[in-house]
Structure formats: C-alpha cells, structure tokens
Amino acid sequence: MTDMASLMEDRAAAKVISDNLHKPVDWDSPKIARNIKKRYAAERRFKFYGLSAIGIALLALFVLAGSIGSKGYSAFFQTYVQLEVTFDAAEIDPDGTGDPAVIGKANFDGLIKQALRDRFPEVTSRQAKRDLYGIVSGGASYDLRERVMENPGLIGQTRKVWLISGDDFDMLNKGYISADVDEGSRRLNDEEIAWYDSLKSDGAVEKHFHTRFFTNGDSREPELAGIWGAAVGSLYTLMVTLALSFPIGVFAAVYLEEFAPKNRFTTIVEVNINNLAAVPSIVFGLLGLEVYLNVMHLPRSAPVVGGLTLALMTLPTIIIASRAAIKAVPPSIRQAALGLGASPVQTVTHHVLPLAMPGILTGTIIGMAQALGETAPLLMIGMVAFIVDIPGGALDPATVLPVQIYLWADSPERAFVEKTSAAIMVLLAFLVLMNGFAVYLRKKFERKW
C-alpha cells in the first residue's frame, strides 16, 4: 500500500519536472537576477567569515604578544638609588687588618641603613624607619661588600653609590603604583612617596639594565630574582631528554620503517606510538611520579627525572618525524647500495640515515621545543620547589623555565608580574630560536628527489 502511494507521489513529481523542462528558462528574468544577486551576496559573506576567522586567530596572537610584551619589557630595567655611603673603617675593619675574611663579615646592611638615615634625618619613629629601609633592597649589602672586597681602598671614605632598590620602590618608579590612588589601597604610604619625590628631584633615582635578572637564581625578593637557575635546570633536563629520546627514537623509526616485518608486534608498536602522542602530558607526570620516584627512588625535583619523563613524551614526536624522513628517501638509493653488495644495515647507516638526517633533526628540534615548554608533568615530579641555588648537575634539585613562570605567576608581589612576563619573553625567544633553526635546516637541506 505504502509502495503504491510513494509511486503515485513520484509520478506526480516527475510530471511537474517534465512540464517545467519543456518551458525554456528565461535567464534575464528579474527572478533569476534576484536569485543570482542573493547567491553572490552569500558567497561574499562566506568569504568574509573565513577571513574574519583568520583575523580573530591573528588578533588573539597579537593581544597575547602585546600583553606579555607590555607587561614584561620593564623587568629588563631595575631602579637604582644613589646614596652617600660612608665606608666607616670602625664598622668594616676596626683593626685595619685588610683581611678579606674580616671585611666579608662586616655589617654592610648597617652602613646602608645609616646612609638612609643620614639622607632623611627627619625620620625617627620605628615604623617609619622600617619603611625607609625598604627603599633599598636587602640584596644591596652584598653588592656593597663585593665592592669593598674588590677595592679595599674605599674603607674610610664617603662615596656616592648606586644601590639596587626594593621592589615596591621599583614599582613606584616604573609607574605601576600611582600616587593618585587612595593611600589605604596602595602598597606605599604618602611618606614613602615623598621620599621618592625627594630622591627623584636630586637625580638620585635611575633605571639601569637589570643584568641580575639573567644571572641570578630564584629569590623571594622580586628585585633579586633571576632566571639563570631555571635556565640551567631546563638545559640539564633537555640534555637528559635528548640523550634518551634521540637515539631511542631514531632506532625505533629505522626498525619500523626499514626492517620490521608486518606482524602483530609491529602493529602493536605503531598503535602505541600513535596513542602515546595523544596522551595528556599530565599522565606522563603521573607515570614519572609512580615509576621514577616511588619505585626507582630517584631524587625528587632532579633534572634527571624530568628528563626521563619528558623523553617518553617527546619519543612519539621524534619517531613519527623520523619515519616520515626515512620514508622520503627514494628506494633507488637503497637498491643501488644493495646492488653494490652492501648489507641492509650498511645501506641504512651509510646511505638512508645520512640522507634522512635533516628531517630527523628537524623533528627532534621540534620535539625538544615542546619539551622545553612543558610544565604539567614536571609539577608532578616535584620540580616546583623553591630553589635558590644554580643546579650544578642533573641530580641537583632544580626547576625549569616554564615552572619558574608558573611559580612567579602565583606570587602575590606586583613586581613578579613583570618578572613573569619577562621570563615568558626569554622562554619564547628560546622557542623561536629552536623552531627557526628547524625551519632553516629544512629549507637548507630539503631535497626534491
């Protein structure tokens, strides 16, 4: 019954179509013109959507770069305060021994405080004095000591010295703390701002290039905190990662591409590699925590453990890139080598691998760049500790650049915002360099067979 009904319907539809087919279409009719106009408008709209999608993505990129740059550029400069410091012989070296051990133990902090009190003699109350000492950073006394150790002739003299300022004072000088805000809701009170104005009008406040940011380890004081410790930690971690994942990755790729028979084992390996490439990075962190720390008892927070964890993560990237590079070497090369009597292993090591090497290296560098930017798995294995010392080896506790960024981003001090952004700029600079090198390699050695 339903068949019959649908057949009737089809017949009716066919009749309509055939009736219309006999009528010639009037291409100049206003109806067609309207229709074409509509379709062209839809076309333009569609094209505009596509363009604006790319625009949105690029806009996001610019906003990201702009916000990091505008927040961070000021961290490369640091406020210094000029004070007249009296290198009092009675304080530094009372017996006139000139012995560095005696000088090293002297109370340079006291000298700076004395200099501050001399500069602002009107400050008397205990609280106000404490605020006053905040103008100069706690790290300034070490600088002063070094200066005197280098040049003992300073003892007994009075000199104008540039001293590194405290973080709040630095923020005020950089304009991040505004004097117009209500006193209760800013970090510095009116008195401190008056001191700043007074120093500023004397020309005793200047911004210098902040080399310490590149040479120091982490610190609780923003003005003393630097990225060198994290950079060295990243270096050790990446060295371990590279030392493991490059040979293992290349060997695996060569085997799978050149020697592996098509059997169950090979299929399982291939499925595993593809899946590992898509496992969330934090799961690798859990693996590292359980296997390397709980089972193998390797040291916590050490670059070795970080490197081992990241090596497993970068392995799929390297294997996939290496396989593609090996596959791109034309079979004629292999046939020629085999024809001249080379063994399969010799063919691969003497001919295929050297020809595939640029591609393999490109993939490796990209994998290393990923590892350099990775944070989450390293949080799991304890690389988030607060570490002041520069790590001296792959077994010392260390942190890495992205984790340092995470730690600073969590710090409440205003001055750490600019440090974080500056550290991000350094990290991005490394990534750009690595990726740029990969692109260069590809362009330089790319071969069209």
Partner 1 sequence: MSLSFLLLAVAALCALSFYFGRQRAIALSGGRYSNLHSLPAHYGMYVALWCGLPALLLVIVWHVFQGSIIEAMIISDLPAEITGDTGKLSLALNSISLIAAGNGQHLSVSPEIIDAGRRLASLQTIANAALVVVMLAVATTGIALSYRKIDPDMRARNNVERISRWIMITCSAIAILSTVGIVFSLMFEAIHFFSKVSPLEFLFGLEWSPQTAIRADQVASDGAFGAIPLFVGTLLITLIAMAVAVPVGLFSAIYMGEYASSKFRAVAKPALEILAGVPTVVYGFFAALTVAPFLRDNGAILGLDVSSESALAAGLVMGVMIIPFVSSLSDDVMSQVPQSLRDGSYGLGATKSETIRHVIFPAALPGIVGAVLLAVSRAIGETMIVVMAAGLAANMTVNPLQAVTTVTVQIVTLLVGDQEFDSAKTLSAFALGLVLFLVTLGLNVFALKVVQKYREKYD
The region of 2-10, 82-90, 292-300, 326-334 touching partner 1 under the rule CB under 8 A is 292-300
Q: What single-letter amino acid sits at 104?
A: G
Query: 272, 335, 336, 354: which one contacts partner 1 (CB under 8 A)?
Result: 272
What burial letters (b/e) apply to 295-327, b meaning 16+ CB within 10 Å?
A: eeebeebbbbbbbbbbbbbbbbbbbbbbbbbbe
Nearer to partner 1 (CB atom), residue 136 or residue 384:
384
The region of 154-162, 167-175, 220-228, 339-347 touching partner 1 under the rule CB under 8 A is 339-347
Least Å from the CB of residue 444 to partner 1: 17
Nearer to partner 1 (CB atom), residue 86 or residue 435:
435
By CB under 8 A, the residues from 123 to 152 that bind partner 1 are none
Nearer to partner 1 (CB atom), residue 362 or residue 375:
375
- Binding-residue pattern over the window 347 to 376 for partner 1, x denoting contact by CB under 8 A: ----------------------x--xxxxx
Q: What is the phi-psi region of residue 116: left when phi exceeds 0, alpha when psi lies from -120 to 50, beta otherwise?
A: alpha
State the DSSP code for 123. -
Q: How many CA atoms lie within 13 A of 301 on its CB side?
A: 14
By CB under 8 A, the residues from 54 to 73 that bind partner 1 are 54, 56-58, 60-61, 63-64, 67-68, 71
**Residue 49 in contact with partner 1, rule: CB under 8 A:** yes
**Residue 342 in contact with partner 1, rule: CB under 8 A:** no
Query: 15, 46, 73, 267: which one contacts partner 1 (CB under 8 A)?
Result: 46
Query: 284, 365, 367, 396: which one contacts partner 1 (CB under 8 A)?
Result: 284
**Residue 388 in contact with partner 1, rule: CB under 8 A:** no
Cα–Cα separations (whole angstroms), residue 183 to 80, 129, 134: 24, 18, 17
Residue 85 backbone phi and psi in degrees, to 5:
-100, 130
Nearer to partner 1 (CB atom), residue 161 or residue 424:
424
State the DSSP code for 84. E
**Residue 316 in contact with partner 1, rule: CB under 8 A:** yes
Query: 148, 254, 390, 422: which one contacts partner 1 (CB under 8 A)?
Result: 254
Query: 10, 43, 190, 389: which one contacts partner 1 (CB under 8 A)?
Result: 43
Query: 179, 276, 324, 333: which one contacts partner 1 (CB under 8 A)?
Result: 276
By CB under 8 A, the residues from 411 to 430 that bind partner 1 are 417, 420-421, 424, 427-428
Q: What is the rounded (10 degree) CA torsion for 317, 323, 328, 333? A: 140
Cα–Cα separations (whole angstroms), residue 212 to 77, 146, 398: 10, 15, 19
The region of 9-17, 84-92, 111-119, 291-299 touching partner 1 under the rule CB under 8 A is 291-299
Least Å from the CB of residue 61 to partner 1: 6
| Total number of residues that touch partner 1 (CB under 8 A) | 92
Nearer to partner 1 (CB atom), residue 10 or residue 43:
43
Alpha helical stretches, state H, 340-375: 344-347, 353-373
Nearer to partner 1 (CB atom), residue 12 or residue 385:
385
Q: What would the two tokens of residue 447 be?
A: 């071969």
Measured CA to CA, the distance from residue 267 to residue 256 in angstroms comes to: 10
**Residue 40 in contact with partner 1, rule: CB under 8 A:** yes
CA-based torsion, 233, 377, 429, 171: positive or negative: negative
C-beta atoms surrounding 92 within 10 Å: 24
Measured CA to CA, the distance from residue 447 to residue 429 in angstroms comes to: 29
Helix and strand tally (H, E) in the chain?
20, 3
Least Å from the CB of residue 48 to partner 1: 10
